[in-house]
């Protein structure tokens, strides 16, 4: 059952608000509107890129009926705090997860992530956290916003390393969902994040190439720490 159907089945609809993240795909906000409700955007935890429980609580009003939590990049949201918040306010809490990989593949991704953690310089490596499965290995590129990250990405690609911007435009910036809302961590993450390869199929030579390409640029940028 999709998110829109689950919201409708729970009686969420016209006049209701549903708290969702703006950092990520538009489909969650679209599902809320399909159910007839209004998506309300809350900020993220900068370590997990998932909804921050305190930000969700601040977004709750008398019209709030539900929260849709999206687990991101292989990290889980603080679902315990979010469910407790839902119980306090009488809210439906739905989880929007990512497809799970086989254990062996996750173990290999973790091995490659550990190598990158140890070797990369000049970028901020991910917070490994509990149970991180590294569906994406997302670093922060230091600097003054998106131009620095985008220039870094172009230079890394020019050295033969594929990389991608995980969230090019947060949902609250899109014309159909534009909101005047302060989401500083969401804005910062959309401007700074870059996903580097961490696939289980990568060889030692591939991993060395990734590190060399990134570290060749690290000295040109201000450290993020």
Q: Residues 112-134: pLDDT tens digits? A: 999 999 999 889 999 887 789 99
Query: Is the pLDDT reported for residue 225 higher than 60?
Result: no
Residue 144: which pLDDT band, with cuts at 50, 70 and 90? low
Among candidate residues 121, 119, 99, the one with its CA nearest the CA of residue 217:
121
Model confidence over 89-107: pLDDT tens digits? 999 999 988 777 899 999 9
Model confidence over 39-66: pLDDT tens digits? 999 999 999 999 999 999 999 999 999 9
Q: Which domains does the chain have, with CATH numbers?
A: 3-96 (3.40.640.10), 103-218 (3.90.1150.10)
The C-alpha atoms of residue 80 and residue 84 are separated, in whole angstroms, by 6
pTM exceeds 0.85 for this model = yes
Burial of 196 (0-12, 13-18, 19+ CB in 10 A): buried
């Amino acid at each position: 059952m999709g998110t829109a159907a689950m919201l409708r089945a729970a009686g969420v609809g016209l006049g209701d608000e549903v708290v969702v993240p703006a950092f990520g795909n538009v489909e969650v906000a679209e599902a809320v509107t399909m159910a007839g409700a209004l998506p309300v955007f809350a900020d993220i935890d900068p370590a997990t890129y998932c909804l921050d429980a305190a930000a969700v609580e601040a977004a709750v009003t008398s019209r709030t009926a539900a929260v849709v939590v999206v687990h991101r990049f292989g990290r889980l949201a603080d679902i315990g705090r979010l469910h407790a918040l839902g119980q306090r306010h009488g809210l439906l809490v739905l989880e929007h997860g990512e497809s799970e990989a086989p254990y062996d593949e996750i173990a290999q991704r973790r091995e490659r992530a550990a190598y990158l953690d140890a070797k990369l310089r000049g970028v901020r490596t991910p917070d490994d956290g509990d149970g991180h499965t590294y569906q994406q290995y997302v670093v922060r590129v230091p600097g003054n916003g998106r131009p620095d990250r985008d220039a870094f990405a172009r230079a890394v690609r020019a050295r033969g390393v594929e990389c991608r911007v995980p969230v090019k435009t947060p949902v609250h910036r899109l014309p159909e969902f534009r909101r005047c809302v302060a989401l500083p961590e969401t804005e910062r993450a959309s401007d700074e994040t870059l996903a580097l390869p961490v696939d289980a199929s990568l060889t030692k030579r591939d991993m060395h190439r990734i590190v060399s390409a990134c570290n060749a640029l690290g000295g040109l940028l201000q450290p993020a720490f």
